[in-house]
Chain A
């Protein structure tokens, strides 16, 4: 009888034993091991193959207008690529809106080279057999900001407005699951299976929204940019898909990047 009681007490104690502590002991070494081997793999990252392809696409005259992208202004003047990615999203007077890197590249492909938006937006994300050109070009552009501090512009009123709109999108709950970005990424200590989820409202964790993108994704062996990553978050929330390279995506990226400003962007990554 006494023994049974003790067993019951032990079971009850076990049931309320603090989970987080147990997780810290058993799960975090796994995450640390993942990080270690990811770092080893980033020393020779297949993303570099797409960077090389993107550079070639940037320099080669293409499209109906047979022009290269070397006159594309990424915010630092026509043709200046180095450091441009770390300073986006930013306001562009010629379109009177805030653009993230990929949105700007798509804009240049349309205006300078004569490509059609509908064509570029038709299948904008990489598959096992095809990597869309804007993905390779964004990869090339991003790689030229490796080692630089994130400095998204917040001077123009539209840049400030984009931050506020992005913030609203981040916290907006809707859909079949009544989810928001913040449901997963606005609180501490969340995880999906083996993946710890960063809290993007905390400056020191916000960098993890940007770091490692564009990234070579081991699943499928494909190259993806932040456009894909955010799109996939909406898919998982069971939201309607956002428009590719839209103002709304630039606004959300503004919110995430500004939260991480001042931190170092390490360049192309390897993702699960």
Chain B
């Protein structure tokens, strides 16, 4: 919350810019930022990132994605994400080859560490793209996960 206030102040009250940011910087102001329908309904990761105001994210080596190289079952793929970027306030996940790539945004406040474990459905092999918001900027990296098919009861 503090972070977003500072960013907005830096924007010099430029309403246009504020609108362009689409409220993304207001996270984790959950009351203010509604579930972003247009981002969730976007059919490509790029469109979703644009809808979230994250399209300009720069590549970073300071984001760790731990996920299997080959998923045993695409219905439940475990993904651990840790951001080592100072001032991280949120982590967003895009499963690029899914019909609706934007999978979620996780916000951290009041002592929460920039880490999340989640389990997602992967329709097919796909890059798992992560975008981190930190101090008003966006950073990104991706990891490829292959999805196998078939097999029996286990």
Residues of A within 8 A of B (CB): 30, 33-34, 36-38, 40-41, 44, 192-195, 212, 215, 217-221, 229, 232-233, 236, 270-272
Q: Given contacts A33-B70, A37-B78, A193-B151, list 5 more A-B pairs with CB under 8 A.
A: A38-B72, A41-B78, A221-B76, A270-B76, A272-B73
Pair A193/B72 contact, Cβ less than 8 Å: no
Q: Name the contact of B70 in the complex, choosing from A30, A40, A233 (C-beta under 8 A).
A: A30
- In the docked arrangement, what's the CA distance between A233 and B153, Å? 8
Pair A220/B151 contact, Cβ less than 8 Å: no
Pair A236/B152 contact, Cβ less than 8 Å: yes
At the interface, yes or no: B38 with Cβ under 8 Å from chain A? Answer: no
Residues of chain B with a CB closer than 8 A to A40's CB: 78
Residues of chain B with a CB closer than 8 A to A193's CB: 148, 150-151
Q: Which residue of A lies closest to B67 (CB)?
A: A37
* Shortest Cβ distance from residue A25 to the other chain B in the assembled complex, whole angstroms: 16
Residues of chain B with a CB closer than 8 A to A215's CB: 154
Residues of chain A with a CB closer than 8 A to B117's CB: 44
Residues of chain B with a CB closer than 8 A to A38's CB: 72
Q: Which residue of B lies closest to A236 (CB)?
A: B152
Number of B residues with CB within 8 Å of any CB on chain A? 17
* Shortest Cβ distance from residue B56 to the other chain A in the assembled complex, whole angstroms: 33
- In the docked arrangement, what's the CA distance between A44 and B78, Å? 11
Pair A41/B153 contact, Cβ less than 8 Å: no
At the interface, yes or no: B6 with Cβ under 8 Å from chain A? Answer: no
At the interface, yes or no: B58 with Cβ under 8 Å from chain A? Answer: no
At the interface, yes or no: B62 with Cβ under 8 Å from chain A? Answer: no
Pair A217/B70 contact, Cβ less than 8 Å: no
At the interface, yes or no: B119 with Cβ under 8 Å from chain A? Answer: yes
Residues of chain A with a CB closer than 8 A to B153's CB: 217, 229, 232-233, 271-272
At the interface, yes or no: B29 with Cβ under 8 Å from chain A? Answer: no
- In the docked arrangement, what's the CA distance between A40 and B153, Å? 20
Most chain B CB within 10 A, of A33, A212, A220, is at A33
Q: Which residue of B lies closest to A36 (CB)?
A: B68
At the interface, yes or no: B11 with Cβ under 8 Å from chain A? Answer: no
- In the docked arrangement, what's the CA distance between A131 and B107, Å? 34
At the interface, yes or no: B59 with Cβ under 8 Å from chain A? Answer: no
Contact string, B62-78, partner A, CB cutoff 8 A, digits 1/0? 00000011111101101
